[in-house]
Each structure stands twice: as C-alpha cells, then as structure tokens.
C-alpha cells in the first residue's frame, strides 16, 4: 500500500512538473511573439521615416545633367571633344550666346547637355540649350551650373 501511494505521488508530481513546464513554454512563446511584433513595428516605422526622407530628397534635389564639350566647324558639324576645350576664357568657346557664334571664327566650342556623347563621335539625344533649375556637370566633374531655385547669380536691368 505504501508503495502504491508513493507511485501515485510520483505520478502527480510528474504531471505537475509537465504542466508547469508547458505553462513556462507558453509564457516564453507569448513573450517572444510580443518582442517580435514590437521589433517589426519599430522596423516598419523606421522604414517609413527613411522612405519619406529619401522621397523628400528626390523631390527637392535638382536634376543632374552631364555637359559635354562639342566642336562645331563652319559647316555646322558637331563632334564631341575633351572637356578642356570648353570653359570661360578658352579660345573658340562661345558658351550659350548665339550672337557670338558668327564672330568667333572656327572651330567653335560649346557645351552639349545630356544625350549620348562619346569623344570623337557626333552627339545625339541632347541639346545645346542650357537647361534651367538643374545641376550641370562635365564628365570630368567640373560644375557648369548649380541646380535648384536661386542658383542664378547676377542682376537684371
């Protein structure tokens, strides 16, 4: 009889230990799920804020256009040349003023904005008209024009 009571007591303790272990595992699982959900919420909020910031930068940053130097001969043929031929004070550089084109002699150099340009080939897909409110840089990294509002320096008459 004492042996039967000892077995019953042992079984009862084993059941209680299993139940306590199951409750502890369930509590641990609930806690882990809460931590995961909280972490996912933090990551989601951070992604939302970061995405909003990147969208703001994309909307407010000026567009960037690449300027290439082109040589124009007396027949109007344009060939892309090295950037060192273009720039204020360079011989034959006419910039964006069409009235100087006739007076400057040949060859003439000016910037070509955008498009496909490879040295020694004819430029395509761009324009010789300087785009406004854009940042313009040459392939060598020289800034021709800063972009955005208020980038024009000088007064009017």
Could you give the residue ranges of the DSSP H alpha helices within 99-144? 99-103
Cβ atoms of residues 101 and 108 within 8 Å: yes
CB-CB contact of 95 with 58 (8 Å): no
Helical segments of the chain, H only: 2-60, 99-103
Mean pLDDT of the chain: 82
Asked if residue 53 lies in contact with residue 41, where contact means CB atoms within 8 angstroms, the answer is: no
Q: pTM, whole model, 2 decimals?
A: 0.51
Q: Per-residue confidence of the chain (157 residues) as pLDDT tens digits?
A: 888 888 889 999 999 999 999 999 999 998 888 888 888 888 888 999 988 888 887 777 667 889 999 998 888 889 999 988 888 888 888 876 654 455 557 889 999 998 888 899 999 988 888 888 788 888 888 888 776 554 444 444 3
Tokens of 138: 């040459």
Q: Nearest 5 degrees, angle CA 105-CA 110-CA 114?
A: 155
Q: Which of 117, 99, 121, 119 is nearest to 108 (CA)?
A: 99
Residue 127 three-state SS: strand
Q: How much helix, strand and coil, in percent to the nearest 5, is found in the chain?
A: 45, 20, 35
What would the two tokens of residue 28 be? 């641990």
């Amino acid at each position: 009889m004492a042996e039967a009571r000892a077995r019953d007591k042992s079984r009862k303790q084993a059941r209680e230990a299993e139940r306590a272990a199951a409750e502890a595992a369930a509590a641990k699982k609930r806690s882990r799920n809460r931590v995961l959900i909280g972490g996912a919420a933090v990551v989601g909020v951070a992604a939302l804020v970061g995405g909003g910031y990147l969208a703001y930068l994309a909307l407010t940053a000026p567009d960037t256009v690449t300027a290439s130097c082109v040589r124009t001969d007396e027949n109007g043929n344009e060939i892309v040349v090295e950037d060192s031929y273009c720039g204020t004070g360079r011989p034959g550089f006419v910039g964006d003023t069409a009235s100087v084109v006739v007076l400057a002699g040949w060859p003439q150099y000016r910037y070509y904005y955008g498009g496909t340009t490879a040295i020694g080939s004819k430029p395509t897909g761009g324009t010789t008209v300087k785009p406004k409110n854009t940042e313009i840089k040459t392939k060598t990294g020289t800034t021709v024009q800063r972009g955005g509002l208020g980038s024009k320096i000088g007064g009017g008459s």
